[in-house]
Amino acid sequence: MSFPTSVSVREVGPRDGLQNEDPISTVAKVELIDALSRTGVRRIEAVSFVHPKAIPQMADADEVWAKVTRDPSVRYSALVPNLRGAERALATGFTELEVVVSASDTHNQRNINRTTAESLAELPALASLVHGAGGTLQLIVSTAWGCPYEGDVPVDRVLSVVDSGVAAGVDSLVYGDTTGMATPPRVTRLVGATRTAHPELPLGLHFHNTRGTGLANVYAALELGVDDFDASVGGLGGCPYAPGASGNIATEELVYLLEDMGIDTGIDLQAMIGAAGLAEQLVGRKLDSQVLRAGPAVR
């Protein structure tokens, strides 16, 4: 069996991870991002530009970004829900933006107060704005494998969202398992259908570990040649608008697995475990990562 020789990991703890925690200080957020920048990870989702009433944990996004010590070897990105968020992100200097659209209409309404169709209708203008500023726009399709309100989301429904994104000019795609409903067979079906429909579209995957299948899903995706994954330090994460959703796959657990498979990530596992310990201190609760507890195989 052939696996990728290397994998690109995007650290999403500072954004996805912290949005589901009690708000922490700006200084603490900056400290976490700077610590992650020293682990060897090459991509960090730093903040999101959402309305502060919707996600108060991200209300200081502008200030956080202004204070981060930016490592030139790290690509920092920001998530936006709409055109206004993109304008704010570009104004602060971000060039890598992600827009999130739920495949589930109910979740999209709860998450950003719009129907899926309304979000998709804005994509052409959003892509034009970002590309006009010299940036890139990634489409994140959330609830790609299921919705806490609607249950299973059909593959055809997910692909219809992707079709709209491609028509609008997005540069890449990520599927988000918002509620942790994905399993390896479901991953195989959706990735396979996507590759058939859009074989040239760069694809990444964003798994939550709500039902304990996160790393199993990664393994299934690796078998299909996927080499781009999101993960969150310490296993932080969850969605305020997805009841019962727990954290993302932990970055240090993902790195531990990939290293043992001989797949390069460029990430220093011990440094990432140290960053997970810092994250645990900053949020003030025990995190779920087992590698944080047990450490690497050889200490």
- Mean residue pLDDT of the chain comes to 95
In a domain, 242, yes or no: yes
Mind listing the pLDDT tens digit for each residue in 240-265? 766 666 789 999 999 999 999 999 99
Mind listing the pLDDT tens digit for each residue in 76-127? 999 999 999 999 999 999 999 999 999 999 999 998 889 999 999 999 999 9
In a domain, 3, yes or no: no
Residue 18 confidence (pLDDT) above 90: yes
In a domain, 174, yes or no: yes
**Helix or strand holding residue 92 (H, E):** none
Range of the domain at 161: 8-294
**pLDDT the model gives residue 243:** 66
In a domain, 2, yes or no: no
Distance CA 216, CA 60 (A): 35
Residue 53 confidence (pLDDT) above 90: no
Range list of H helices, 48-154: 61-67, 83-91, 105-112, 116-132
Q: Is the pTM of this model over 0.85?
A: yes
**pLDDT the model gives residue 100:** 96
CATH number of the domain within which 27 lies: 3.20.20.70
Q: Catalytic: which of 79, 100, 236, 239? A: 239
**pLDDT the model gives residue 155:** 98
**pLDDT the model gives residue 245:** 66
Domain count, the chain: 1
In a domain, 190, yes or no: yes
In a domain, 87, yes or no: yes
Q: Does the active-site annotation cover 239?
A: yes
**pLDDT the model gives residue 244:** 65
CB 225 within 8 A of CB 188: no
In a domain, 299, yes or no: no
CB 63 within 8 A of CB 83: no
What would the mean pLDDT of 116-140 be, rounded to a whole number?
98
In a domain, 147, yes or no: yes
